[in-house]
Amino acid sequence: MKRYLLGSSLVVVAALGGAFGFFAMRKPAMAAPSSVKVEMSSERIARGKYLFQVVSGCDDCHTDRDWTKFSAPPNVLTRGRGVTFPADMGLPGKVSSKNITPDPVTGLGAWTDGEKIRAIREGVSRDGYALFPMMPYNVYRHMSDDDVNALVAYLNSLPPITHAVPPTQLDFPVNLLIKSAPQPVAGSVVTPDRADPVKYGEYMVHIAGCIECHTPSEKGEPVKGMTFAGGQEFHLGKFLVHTANITPDAETGIGEWTEARFIQKFRGYAQFAETGAPKAVQANFTMMPWTAFSKLTDEDLKAIFAYLRTVKPVYNRVDKHPELPQS
């Protein structure tokens, strides 16, 4: 009997070891990068700049930010050079963003345009490894061919900065689980017609990452039925914030808001982009890049508002800046 149990145990151990070995050696799903060479026109670079600095939050993760100030404005002298995120953000290990300037040694200077596009939309690095999904490639996969090309054109125009960022080192089992995150993009992605504000607004909401921040999650998965209902919790150091409910619920969301009020909410932070943001305190702490979003065009803000008016209203009262116990 003991021999049988020992044999069974060895079989289980061997199976577990084999499974671990499989996941450890497995590569993420990936397609070969395209051979595209992005055209460097002034119009394309300008569109890419708008996407990078205003819409899609590239500055938020790839540029040093001043977390002592409201909305953590980026340090433009370090634009795109990559950062290591603070440990108190609660990430599963030591996480760094890539230097995405054209520096040939520490940045993307040796990458092809196709490899950059694959990383942005599919989450696969040049060396074939899965990127940590804090890089929202599950969102950027919806980015149109025109826009991702524009974003790459802008990346190619950045001044190269030599800055070696420590590699990301994820805790087990996240380091294995993220290999299932990348998925190849099938075919072309077309930019929605701007003449349809709801459809175009849905597109803008996707590439701006609104769903990820304004939908509460549990164990890394969005809570069903709570899309855009707010309440997602963000900690940083001594600060805590819950995201707002942006569904059209009349009592707890933005159901009573007019288009003009929605636009003015964003425009109200434009002065901080020009004159500097105030000091961050618990009462105003936010992960929302208001200084960047204050530069969204009226057309884009109107489209975003039009789309948000069509989503399911969810009653969810959120205390965005709860009082914290004094230490």
The answer to whether residue 52 is domain-embedded is yes
Do 253 and 208 sit in the same domain of this protein?
Answer: yes
Q: pTM for the complete prediction?
A: 0.90
Type of residue at 312: K
Domain count, the chain: 2
Helices (H), the chain: 2-25, 42-50, 58-62, 113-122, 137-140, 145-157, 174-177, 197-207, 210-214, 259-267, 270-275, 290-293, 298-308
Cα–Cα distance measured from residue 124 to residue 118, given in angstroms and rounded to the nearest whole number: 6
Do 50 and 154 sit in the same domain of this protein?
Answer: yes
Do 109 and 235 sit in the same domain of this protein?
Answer: no
Do 139 and 231 sit in the same domain of this protein?
Answer: no
The answer to whether residue 192 is domain-embedded is no
Do 47 and 154 sit in the same domain of this protein?
Answer: yes
Do 176 and 48 sit in the same domain of this protein?
Answer: yes
Q: Give the residue numbers spanning the domain of 143.
A: 42-180
For residue 103, the 8-state DSSP code is -
Backbone torsion region of residue 244, taken as left when φ is above 0, otherwise alpha when ψ lies between -120 and 50, otherwise beta: beta
Three-class SS state of 24: helix
The answer to whether residue 17 is domain-embedded is no
Do 254 and 207 sit in the same domain of this protein?
Answer: yes
The answer to whether residue 189 is domain-embedded is no
The answer to whether residue 35 is domain-embedded is no
The answer to whether residue 12 is domain-embedded is no
Do 75 and 162 sit in the same domain of this protein?
Answer: yes
Do 239 and 140 sit in the same domain of this protein?
Answer: no
The answer to whether residue 32 is domain-embedded is no
Per-residue pLDDT of the chain (327 residues; tens, 9 = 90+): 444 444 444 444 344 344 444 446 688 999 999 999 999 999 999 999 999 999 999 999 999 999 999 999 999 999 999 999 988 888 899 999 999 999 999 999 999 999 999 999 999 999 999 999 999 999 999 999 999 999 999 999 999 999 999 999 999 999 999 999 999 997 899 999 999 999 999 999 999 999 999 999 998 789 999 999 999 999 888 899 999 999 999 999 999 999 999 999 999 999 998 888 999 999 999 999 999 999 999 999 999 999 999 999 999 999 999 988 765
Do 204 and 256 sit in the same domain of this protein?
Answer: yes
